[in-house]
């Protein structure tokens, strides 16, 4: 599904009692509300969605690409094919039905995506790194359902660790369209969803400017400065005049997230 999350490992403690990944995951979970339908990928997107359902959005409807609707896993799933998703779902349908009936007609509120690269207009690359597609420097996992999610969900949230290697002025390959070349691109391409509305990183939150569609820094985490974020961005990142400091995770959010992590096999926990 293109739910790759790359960049420098940010799982160590920040000296604040929580890690950068925990801050990022909690921030993403707060963007979700009760009764939303949410198309979820594995990894940080799944952690954020399941954390929201375990805390403030207990009626959040989780939809996975494998065809499960309304899954209520008691632990973090290991993949979109994890049996716990089907066992706890309200319904299980075919993959074509998920895409043809639920996703493409715009019936899903939020799509969660990751990125190998993301550019100033929110376009995502999860295909290749390097100018030559046939002989890339790195071949990434590929598109999966990400292009359809980016095109048709009512809005998209991207979760990705922020480095200059990941946040580039223009992606090497457009796997999933954000705002293309700027205003009007999505409309010209016939994309019905609103596109990426939040880019949640381990440093803060970026959102598209309503006029230019270029990503703008709108929030930073405690202890993070604007120069920190600019230094990790491969273009001249603009900063909102209303820049805010995003609240740190509260004890109940951290406890719920760590309880979810505790359900993972030891090898999965070591891989984080």
Taking the C-alpha atoms of residue 60 and residue 238, their distance in angstroms, rounded to an integer, is: 33
Taking the C-alpha atoms of residue 143 and residue 25, their distance in angstroms, rounded to an integer, is: 23
pLDDT, tens digit only, all 272 positions of the chain: 444 443 333 444 556 799 999 999 999 999 999 999 999 988 888 999 999 999 999 999 999 999 999 999 989 999 989 999 999 999 999 999 999 999 999 999 999 999 999 999 999 999 999 989 999 999 998 898 999 999 999 999 999 999 999 999 999 999 999 999 999 999 999 999 999 999 999 999 999 999 999 999 999 999 999 999 999 999 999 999 999 999 999 999 999 999 999 987 764 444 44
Using DSSP's 3-state secondary structure scheme, residue 137 falls into coil
pTM: 0.89
Using DSSP's 3-state secondary structure scheme, residue 103 falls into helix
Nearest Cα to 206, choosing from 156, 140, 256? Answer: 156
b (16+ CB within 10 A) / e for 205-232: bbbbbeeebbbbbbbbbeebeeeebeeb
Taking the C-alpha atoms of residue 81 and residue 66, their distance in angstroms, rounded to an integer, is: 6
For 195, counting Cβ atoms within 10 Å of its Cβ (0-12 exposed, 13-18 middle, 19+ buried), the class is: buried
Q: Which residues have a catalytic role annotated? A: 65
């Amino acid at each position: 599904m293109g739910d790759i999350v790359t960049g420098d490992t940010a799982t160590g403690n920040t000296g604040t009692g929580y890690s950068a990944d925990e801050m990022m995951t909690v921030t993403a979970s707060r963007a979700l509300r009760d009764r939303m339908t949410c198309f979820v990928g594995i990894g940080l997107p799944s952690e954020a969605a399941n954390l929201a359902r375990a805390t403030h959005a207990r009626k959040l409807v989780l939809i996975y690409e494998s065809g499960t609707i309304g899954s209520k896993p008691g632990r973090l799933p290991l993949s979109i094919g994890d049996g716990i998703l089907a066992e706890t779902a309200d319904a299980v349908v075919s993959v074509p039905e998920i895409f043809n009936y639920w996703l493409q007609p715009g019936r899903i509120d939020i799509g969660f995506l990751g990125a190998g690269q993301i550019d100033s207009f929110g376009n995502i690359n999860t295909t290749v790194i390097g100018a030559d597609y046939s002989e890339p420097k790195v071949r990434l996992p590929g598109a999966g359902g990400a292009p359809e999610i980016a095109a048709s969900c009512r809005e998209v949230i991207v979760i990705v660790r922020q480095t200059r290697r990941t946040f580039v002025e223009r992606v090497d390959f457009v796997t999933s369209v954000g705002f293309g070349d700027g205003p009007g691109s999505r409309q010209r391409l016939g994309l019905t969803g609103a596109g990426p509305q939040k880019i949640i990183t381990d440093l803060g939150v970026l959102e598209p400017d309503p006029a230019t569609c270029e990503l703008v820094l709108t929030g930073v985490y405690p202890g993070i400065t604007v120069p920190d974020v600019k230094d990790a961005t491969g273009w001249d990142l603009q900063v909102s005049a209303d820049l805010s400091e995003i609240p740190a995770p509260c004890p109940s959010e951290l406890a719920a997230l760590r309880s979810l992590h505790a359900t993972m096999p030891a090898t999965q926990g070591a891989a984080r």
